[in-house]
């Protein structure tokens, strides 16, 4: 499984080239993800994808919008 981060550019999202390998697994076995990863600056959305042994994207398992950090005054 891989995590993808996307950056908002002029109202549209584009996939960043940096991917995070999250976990390898057997398609016949359930997996549990419990991991914290860093978010690149400017990321607006993150998603998790299932990839096969050749690295081909086989499914999107979910995505989430990343809120901008608030600055305390």
50, with CB counted inside 10 A (0-12, 13-18, 19+), is middle
Structural domain spans, the chain = 1-34
27-58 per-position pLDDT tens digit: 788 888 888 888 887 788 888 888 888 888 88
Task: Give me 53's structure tokens.
Answer: 């042994």
The side-by-side arrangement of strands in the sheet containing 43-51 is 12-21, 2-9, 43-51, 57-65
1-24 per-position pLDDT tens digit: 677 777 765 555 565 556 778 888
Task: Give me 56's structure tokens.
Answer: 């081909």
């Amino acid at each position: 499984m891989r995590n993808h981060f996307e950056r908002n550019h002029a109202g549209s999202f584009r996939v960043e080239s940096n991917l995070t390998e999250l976990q390898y697994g057997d398609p016949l076995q359930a997996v549990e993800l419990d991991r914290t990863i860093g978010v690149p600056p400017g990321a607006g959305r993150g998603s998790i994808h299932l990839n096969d042994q050749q690295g081909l994207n086989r499914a999107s398992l979910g995505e989430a919008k990343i809120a901008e950090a608030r600055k305390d005054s």
